[in-house]
Amino acid sequence: MPHDQMNPLIVQGDRSILLDVHAPRAVEARNALIPFAELEKSPEHLHTYRVTPLSLWNAASAGFEPSDITGTLREFSRFAVPASVLAWIPETMSRFGTLRLLPSGDDDALILESSSARVYQELSASRHMAKYLAHEGGEGYRFRVAVLHRGTVKQELLRLGWPVKDEAPLRDGDPLEVSLRGTALSGLPLTVREYQNEAAGALVGDRGPGTGYGTIVLPCGSGKTVVGMKVMSLLKTSTLILTTNVAAVHQWIDELVDKTSLSREDIGEYTGDAKEIRPVTVATYQIVTWRPDKEGEFPHFRLFRERAWGLIVYDEVHLLPAPVFRVTAEIQTIRRLGLTATLVREDGREGDVFSLVGPKRYDVPWKDLEGQGWIATAVCTEVRVDLDAALEVEYAVAGQRQKYRIASENPVKFDVVSALLARHSEDAVLVIGQYIDQLEKIARALSCPIITGKTSNAERDRIYSDFRSGAIRTLVVSKVANFAIDLPDASVAIQISGTFGSRQEEAQRLGRILRPKERSSHFYTVITARTVEEDFAANRQKFLAEQGYEYEIVRWGELSRTLPCGDGAR
């Protein structure tokens, strides 16, 4: 067989790419695809990726050239890469930078410059863009743009297929001396890892035009908070940090005090519990987007203007609420850092993250960091159980949404949870689910604590502290544990139900157990066989397949016979 017939990729004219997972270089090819292709399907033998304009523009903004991408496809393709694809890639990537935002010499306006007469004419003829663009006299193809419309123009032009390279100046904000400690207050040495330095450097650059904003994509447990603090130490400016919930706010504050030169008095908490505005302020998305009624204004948007912020950190940027996009569009002069484990958004607004927070500046395959020992080795297992016989008729006549809930709350799953807890009796275990009734029943049966959205912040912090210390071995959590929660001692997660086919949720839940440790971590997903839950589970696992994780799928009857008592997992 010729050598190229052993290659793992089949590149097709519709810009889809098939990856033969059994081919000798499949893992190498998967890692090479991550910067510029999106995973669509991941069945057992052939995974399907797709190259899209947005995936190419993210790659371009991260420093990839068209030749890097066409070279990768040629190197790993089993057959000749279609000529149409080879022509489309450089043409599409060249669109990034065709339009540039530049200073005008006027504090209230910017210049949108086109390197193409055709694009200039296209925009001149656009009725939709007329309200934002005014013709600028002189040489070249130039428009005048009000500073207030900076973000909106970038959003609208991306929708037209013209991503803007924003090279207009960013303001420095109030100065603030911030440095990282050599040794944390906790007594542990603090060494910024090579990839964390690279990620921070990719955002800050030389602080020239086109740097200072963007998104960093790193796995949960790999130290994204350290990247944020490193950026703060490089920029040395007043910083606003937005994150997902009050527990995450407290986590950020504790980390800042422990690992930087900042004192607790330098840091403000802006939540439902406190309204402190200090040189570094940490707030929740919930408080920022609160309003007294659906038609009212967002009173806490004023937080964005309370100080001369020099940096805004969007933690878990894949969860950025839609209203925050609106205010972010208005504050494009401020440096912006998005942190996330996955750019997948269930609302399809990845383009708005690209335009308003900034393009992907740095990404690294999860398996690369696992191989280097920076995150734990994870074993992923899908356990399939039969539907409880008493529910078969109810399931058969139910609507699609109710079918999913019946399958998710299948009481047979409790037997699996009990057996897995016996198997991992010496481990710290998270039991994670979607439906509160189901979780409360399991928590009562296991006599273990439960955390849901209704749990008070004080009680939540107490339970998390007990879990970290080992006083609690098993913790039942709702989807609140999907978001920015530091549970470093968790080594086992048992997922009994989820948010339909959410890929971002799967990534977050696996991330709860990825902090480096001496033992392997185990991620179990319990699925009711031959129900709609199987289909949703397949979609949820796509993100992990893209990162190189493989799910072993087992039937409960087979697994139960092999489960030893006690901690037989190691």
Query: What are the structural domains of the chain?
Result: 3-94 (no CATH), 99-166 (3.30.780), 194-364 (3.40.50.300), 373-562 (3.40.50.300)
pTM: 0.83
- Helix ranges (H only) for 260-365 are 285-288, 322-330, 350-352
Task: Supply 345's token pair.
Answer: 């958004």
Whether residue 393 contacts residue 531, with contact meaning beta carbons closer than 8 Å, is answered with no
- Helix ranges (H only) for 424-570 are 436-446, 457-469, 503-511, 532-540, 542-546, 556-562
β-strands 474-477, 551-555 pairing:
unpaired
Query: Under 8 Å CB-to-CB from 309, ≥6 apart: which residues?
Result: 173, 174, 237, 238, 239, 240, 334
Place of tokens 């439906």: 435
Length of the chain in terms of residues written: 570
As a dihedral over the C-alpha atoms of residue 211, residue 213, residue 219, residue 220, rounded to 10 degrees, the angle is 140
CA distance 170 to 311: 10
Whether residue 33 contacts residue 17, with contact meaning beta carbons closer than 8 Å, is answered with yes
DSSP annotation of 148 = G
Query: Under 8 Å CB-to-CB from 380, ≥6 apart: which residues?
Result: 510, 523, 525, 541, 544, 549, 550, 551, 552
Share of the chain above pLDDT 70, in %: 92
> Per residue of the chain (570 residues), what is the pLDDT tens digit?
344 789 999 999 999 999 998 999 998 998 899 889 988 777 778 888 999 999 999 999 888 999 999 999 999 999 999 999 999 999 999 999 999 999 998 888 999 999 999 999 999 999 999 999 999 877 889 999 999 999 999 999 999 999 999 999 899 999 999 999 999 998 888 999 999 999 999 999 876 566 799 999 888 778 899 999 999 999 999 999 999 888 889 989 999 999 999 999 999 999 998 999 999 999 999 999 999 888 888 999 999 998 999 999 999 898 888 899 989 998 999 999 999 888 877 778 899 999 999 999 988 877 888 888 888 888 889 899 999 999 999 999 999 989 999 999 999 999 999 999 999 998 999 999 989 999 999 999 999 999 998 888 789 889 988 998 889 999 999 877 666 565 656 889 899 988 755 666 776 777 777 776 767 889 899 999 999 998 888 777 776 776 677 778 899 876 665 554 444 333
- Coil, strand, or helix at residue 58? helix
